[in-house]
Amino acid sequence: MTLQIATINTGTCRARHGWPMLAVSIIQPRRMPRAILSSSRMYATTTPTGFAALHTLLRSLGQIVLQGNAATGACVLAALVICDPRLACAALIGAVSANVSAVLAGCDEQDTRAGLHGFNGALAALASFTFIADDATAAAIAILAATATAWMLDPWSRLLQRFHFCCYSSPCLTVTWIWLALVGPVAHTATPHGASATPSVISSMDVLHGVLAGVAQTTFASGALPGVLVVAGIAASSRRHACWALAGAALATGGQVLSGTALSSLDAGLPGFNGALTALAVADCGAAATIAAVAFSVLLQQLASHLGLTAMTAPFVIATWCAHGISRLATGQRNTSRITSI
């Protein structure tokens, strides 16, 4: 089909005693070069779609449990919805804010699509909604904190790579500790990471519930059903990692129970979440290294609780760094992994 362009020119017709005359000329345009047409088609095929953005968002949530998998992210989101829709909204706000900030900052597109820029933002937003009761204030701090994690991730990762470490959730920890020191937490009904209470009698069913809740607590959720969903999400990416997450949560929970943890903390999953994350991160170093790292994370978490510190996932990060460092010294190899999850 040929397009025609009409141009209208005005003039004066002498034969009509000065009446305006419209002169219409039809112009046949030149055919568009094939190179331009082919480049347009290529641009259309490479333009990100809504599904690509959705996959990036879900991978960001999946990276919270070290799985760059969209199905894992969907299970994490479902666990948050079941536990508290407020937390689900927080995770979405943080992940979107961090991913948009990463794009504006010109960060590596491949890393952004893998969810490496979004998960720390999701964690920072979850921390904001956990420690702040007012929704408006929590949302404002969540957006600012998520943006900060996205902007600091690349330079912080380059610094850590000099020592052959991954950043994991350290950007979220840094930003959260800064705003907590500046504004302080607002009272909230939820028990924050690292809190403790009076010990009480604990049954075997309480321990089983605590193990599943510990896996759920890796995403700031709590409860056995959210824990089952998170385990299912990890299994969708790797059944081996799902087994290690359960094993790490069980080892950490058992150690905390023997040391006299409170039933309320056990119900919330606080004793086991650092152990689950540590097992996920150190599983490739071998069973002995993984068990030792989980035990070290338990000791660090107990120390932070004794000192009254808001540790969150710091025991996991420190224990994992130590385990990978010792493993490199023992084997003489460098860790070249680009995984920078929680």
Find residue 7's DSSP bridge partners. 25
* Cα–Cα distance, 19 to 51 (Å, whole number): 60
* Cα–Cα distance, 34 to 39 (Å, whole number): 9
**5-32 pLDDT, tens per residue?**
444 444 444 444 444 443 444 444 445 4
* Cα–Cα distance, 291 to 325 (Å, whole number): 15
Identify the pLDDT of residue 185: 55
Residue type at 215 in one-letter notation: V
C-beta neighbour count of 335 within 10 angstroms: 17
The answer to pTM > 0.75 is: yes
Give the torsion sign (CA, 241, 149, 92, 176).
positive
Identify the pLDDT of residue 26: 41
Identify the pLDDT of residue 260: 86
Identify the pLDDT of residue 187: 46
* Cα–Cα distance, 95 to 37 (Å, whole number): 37
* Cα–Cα distance, 319 to 321 (Å, whole number): 6
Please state at what angle helix 50-62 crosses helix 70-83, rounded to 10 degrees: 70
* Cα–Cα distance, 94 to 122 (Å, whole number): 4
* Cα–Cα distance, 70 to 287 (Å, whole number): 28
Per the structure block, which two tokens stand in for 294? 């989980």
Q: What are the pLDDT tens digits along the chain (342 aa)?
A: 444 444 444 444 444 444 444 344 444 444 544 443 334 333 333 445 778 899 999 999 999 999 999 999 999 999 999 999 999 999 999 999 999 999 999 989 999 999 999 999 999 999 999 999 999 999 999 999 999 999 999 999 999 999 889 999 999 999 999 999 988 655 454 445 555 445 567 888 999 999 999 999 999 999 999 999 999 999 999 999 999 999 999 999 999 999 888 888 999 999 999 999 999 999 999 999 999 999 999 999 999 999 999 999 999 999 999 999 999 888 876 544 444 445
**Cα–Cα distances in angstroms (integers) from residue 74 to residues 26, 177, 196, 275, in the given order:** 57, 28, 31, 23
Residue type at 155 in one-letter notation: P
* Cα–Cα distance, 246 to 9 (Å, whole number): 80
Identify the pLDDT of residue 263: 87
In contact, 206 and 195? CB cutoff 8 Å: no
Identify the pLDDT of residue 22: 38
Give CA 329 to chain center in angstroms. 30
Identify the pLDDT of residue 333: 60
Any alpha helices (H) in the chain, and if so which ranges?
A: 34-46, 50-62, 70-83, 85-104, 109-113, 119-131, 135-161, 170-183, 204-216, 224-237, 239-258, 263-268, 273-282, 287-307, 314-331
Residue 9, SS3 per DSSP: strand
Rg (CA), the chain: 27
